[in-house]
Amino acid sequence: MNTLPPEYYTILSVFAPIFTKRIGWHVQVMVMGAILAPGKRTVTSVLRIMGLSQEKHFQNYQRNLNRARWSSLEISRVLLKLLLETFVPKGRIVMGLDDTIERRRGAEIKAKGIYRDPVRSSQSHFVKASGLRWLSLMLLAPIPWAKRVWAMPFLTVLSPSERYYKNLGRPHKKLTDWGAWMHLKVQRWLPDRHLVVVTDAGFAVIELLWQVSQRINPIAMIVRFRLDAALYEPAPPSKTGKRGRPRLKGKRLPTLKEVTEDSQTIWKSVTIPHWYGQGHKEVEIVSNTALWYHNGMPALPIRWVLIRDPKGNSKPKPCFVPTCTSSQSKS
């Protein structure tokens, strides 16, 4: 039977306590086959590349994925620990959050749904894709020899569509609900580290951002924003003896679209390294603080940032990060 090179045992030995001795042997075979197998890394291709195409009890390898009892969360925790020890041993931890669609067909794949294809779609063209939607949390760390930041996934969850939950008779768990669960899970693993999460506009939701910003150790989320979002000044202090509920917001502020078009806006030139694989990029930015508010929702303090290309080759890109109040900072 083939065995792994000695260097691989150093890594796999960290995960060994998660599996029983019998399952651990099968896992070793599947890991080695996944490294060597070309194309799709299915159990069949793994066994074939390992010379086990005539294995009579091939179902034992399938059972490692669908019946054997082992904790995928524990694997994610151990993997994150290894990545941090190697690339980010101290300081703040920057993570990326994004969803992807795995195109799968078949009557037995119950969790599949129809989603927007983010790769093929554009603002004027909508393309649907059928498959499984996965939400992945990735460590963003600079790799010295690559001279760029790599996204290394360590925690991935399945996020089915609303129709799937309806057929099960269970309440729908939205993509943002899964995102919040993943953030808080990592914070429980790393209570003493400051977490920063970078994601897209799909997670620009007040309830989610309010939840992660109200923790004792708040999670900073950098999110793509809308140019027409309703922004306000902080609420003025309540007058002594005045009845009624205190105000939640102050005066309405101009939208980011109006800020972009205003000739009085003062832009600052900065250089951003690793701009979408193009190396260093000269851009202009403007930033300020505000309250983001919708009726029936909490008023969320944020810092917004507008980024534009001084050559006019692209539209301004708005993003923001929730800020902490003074009471939160003291806690």
Domain boundaries of the chain, sorted by first residue: 6-66, 72-199
Question: Which one-letter DSSP state was computed for residue 219?
Answer: P
Distance CA(202)–CA(223), nearest Å, equals 9
Identity at 276, one-letter amino acid code: Y
Closest listed residue to residue 285, CA positions, set 308, 256, 310: 308
The answer to whether 249 and 233 are in contact (CB under 8 A) is: yes
What phi and psi values does residue 79 have, to the nearest 5 degrees? -65, -45
Chain centroid to Cα 251, Å, comes to: 33
Token couple for 322: 């929730």
d(CA 317, CA 308): 6
Question: What pLDDT is recorded for position 236?
Answer: 85
How do the residues of the chain divide into helix, strand and coil, expressed in percent and rounded to 5?
30, 25, 45
In the prediction, which pLDDT does 328 show? Answer: 39
Burial of 12 (0-12, 13-18, 19+ CB in 10 A): middle
Burial code of 233-248, b = ≥16 C-beta within 10 A, e = fewer? ebeeeeeeeeeeeeee
The Cα–Cα gap between 116 and 128 comes to 5
Residue 13 in 3-state DSSP?
A: helix
pLDDT at residue number 190: 93
Phi, psi (rounded to 5 degrees) for 32: -65, -40
Does residue 133 contact residue 101 with C-beta atoms inside 8 Å?
Answer: yes
3-state class (DSSP) for residue 25 = helix
Query: Contact, 218 vs 238, CB < 8 A?
Result: no
- Angle in degrees, 0-180, between the axes of helices 6-15 and 21-36, rounded to the nearest 10: 130
- What angle do helix axes 206-213 and 175-189 make, rounded to 10 degrees? 10
Q: How many CB atoms lie within 10 A of CB 49?
A: 18
Task: Give me the pLDDT at residue 326, please.
Answer: 36
Which residues make Cβ contacts (< 8 Å) with residue 143, sequence separation at least 6?
87, 149, 150
Cα 242 → chain centroid: 44
Q: What is the largest CA-CA distance in the chain?
A: 84
- Regions of the chain short of the pLDDT cut 70: 1-4, 277, 323-331
- In order, the DSSP letters of 29-87 are HHHHHHHH--S---HHHHHHHTT-TT-TTTHHHHHHHHTS---HHHHHHHHHHHHHHHH
Strand (E) or helix (H) holding 100: strand 93-102
The reply to whether the predicted model has a pTM over 0.75 is yes
Q: Is 169 helix (H, G, I), strand (E, B) or coil?
A: coil
Residue appearing with tokens 């260093």? 280
Residue pLDDT, tens place only, 4-49? 677 777 777 888 888 887 787 788 888 888 888 888 888 888 888 8
